[in-house]
Amino acid sequence: MTDLPHELLPATGRALLHRLAVAQSEGRAPSVVAGVVRDGRPVWSGARSMTDGHAPTPDVQYRIGSLTKTFVAVLVLRLRDEGLLGLADPLSRHLPGTPADDATIAQLLSHTSGLAAETPGPWWERTEGTLRPGLDDLLEAERPLKHPAGRLHHYSNPGYALLGALVAELRGKPWGEVLHREVLAPLGMDRTTLLPEHPHAGGFAVHPWADVLQPEPLTDTGLMGPAGQLWSTGADLARWAAFLAAGDDKVLSADTLAEMRRPAAAPDDSGWNSAYGFGLQLRRHQGRLLYGHTGSMPGFTAGLWVSEADGLAAYALANATSGAATAQLAAELITLTAEHEPRLPEPWRPLAEVDDDLLDLTGPWYWGAAPNTLRLRAGRILELAPLAGHGRGSRFRPEPDGTWTGLDDYYAGETLRVVRRADGTVSHLDLGSFVYTREPYGPAPAVPGGVDPEGWRGM
């Protein structure tokens, strides 16, 4: 284990190192590096190697495969946030003449465009990009679509190659240069590159039935680079995990990152164990909802996951084409850390300032006869919740015009208004046309459809 300053207990570190060692040994990987990030800071890293007395440090580069897609998605969402494109725009509006003209940006980001999973032969991951010099070479001309657009999740590596070309078209620079200038440099990720830079691990294939290996080719995949070209280090991926967890206004806001990790297509299974957002995979692991991405290229596998609820993230990198199960390892490092050292809740603190008008809104409210409570939180956030625990609730963010916008579930994006009488007193709350009153079905003038004039009565 590397000598990083950390806050984890020795028993936790020993458990993490043991799990990493099992992954390297049973996965028969030449080397494995992994690390854990808590609340944005690296708290543990470890490594195991086939070479006695030597293990790679967090500064050694590994190829991260499809983790590259998370970086490309951030570049595209930056363009959206700047108003240079819309997620509903067809690709042809900004990059005409490709085999995917009708696919929308959102469909490409979420792998719902229906495009083929891979390029026409030869196998793009093990061949030079010069074999596919133009965008037309990335998909079959006769049948680029394998499914109707927008109907289901079908992973497409060429789809992300097109997104990289879109970034280059709108920025006027190669996507790799844009990535360095707009994302990597601001986040201090100076060891994440398109091609390997010393020190870096060599990639190997391990024989399935014998403990022997051979090197995998080192390729520059050219136009397919946005699908899986990047090399990175444990130290840089710790920074990337911290960014994916909290955002950074120099690169992308926390709100946009939250948008990226919402499922964008129907989950693949009825139990909702996996889904895909905009450039981010989602999976459930032992009761935890994780988001991040897995990656593989010949000679390498990678995994990075974030658990928002635990304030934890973990990465794992190996230099073998298969076997090390780095995605599973990263998920289990989160579980081990959370079980050994559960996250401490934030201490309760009173509000820094109190608005009497908002304070007057708190307490019971009724949707018809259903009781709800409204609480005031920090930042003028209002929190509506059903009193009995069944029904619709949400947090609401204040807006400059005096309304609030829903943040969660059914009411996400909906507007909450405080409706006042002529004398300025509060009559009721209007939430997307639903009326909440201080009494069950009262006062009558505020209730849509009116109230029976005889009022409440018994048998």
Domain containing residue 384: CATH number: 2.40.128.50
Query: Would 238 be classed as within a structural domain?
Result: yes
Residue 431 and residue 325 share a domain:
no
Mean pLDDT of 7-31: 96
Same domain assignment for residues 325 and 364: no
Compute CA distances 304 → 187, 268, 269, 300, whole Å: 17, 20, 22, 14
Q: Do the domain assignments include residue 3?
A: no
User: How would residue 323 be classed by pLDDT, with cut points 50, 70 and 90?
Assistant: confident
Which of 92-101, 175-184, 186-195 bottoms out in mean pLDDT, i.e. has the lowest? 92-101
Same domain, 368 and 276: no
Write out pLDDT tens, residues 334-384.
Answer: 999 999 999 998 899 999 988 999 999 999 999 999 999 999 999 999 999
pLDDT score recorded for residue 213: 96
More confident residue, 267 or 305: 305
Residues 40 and 101 in one domain: yes
Same-domain check for residues 321 and 377: no
**Same domain (yes/no): 151, 265:** yes
In the prediction, which pLDDT does 267 show? 63
Of 340, 373, 405, the position where a domain reaches its end is 340
User: Do residues 152 and 241 share a domain?
Assistant: yes
Q: Looking at the domain assignment, is residue 163 inside a domain?
A: yes
- One domain, residues 158 and 191: yes
Are 267 and 370 members of one domain?
no
Burial class (CB in 10 A: 0-12, 13-18, 19+), 184: buried
Handedness of CA 104, 105, 108, 110 (dihedral sign): negative
**Residue 427 backbone dihedrals phi, psi, to 5 degrees:** -90, -55
Last residue of a domain, one of 278, 307, 340: 340
Instruction: Give the Cβ contact number of residue 367 at 10 Å.
Output: 19
pLDDT band at 135 (very low <50, low <70, confident <90, very high): very high
Q: Is residue 351 part of a domain?
A: no
Q: Decide if 407 is inside a domain.
A: yes
Q: What are phi and psi of 217, to 5 degrees?
A: -70, 150
Q: Which tokens sit at 200?
A: 């870096």
Residues 156 and 83 in one domain: yes
Residues 336 and 362 reside in one and the same domain: no
Specify whether 156 is located in the same domain as 264.
yes
User: Does any domain span residue 298?
Assistant: yes
Task: Look at residues 290, 310, 340 and tell me which one is the last residue of a structural domain.
Answer: 340
The domain tally of the chain equals 2
Model confidence pLDDT, tens digit, residues 383-408: 999 998 778 899 999 999 999 999 98
CATH number at residue 183: 3.40.710.10
In this predicted model, what pLDDT tens digit does every residue of 143-167 receive, in sequence order? 888 898 888 899 999 999 999 999 9
- The answer to whether position 373 is within a domain reads yes
pTM over 0.85: yes
The boundaries of the domain holding residue 404 are: 356-446
**What backbone phi and psi angles, to 5 degrees, belong to 425?**
-75, 155
Structural domain contains residue 52: yes
Q: DSSP letter for 202, please.
A: P
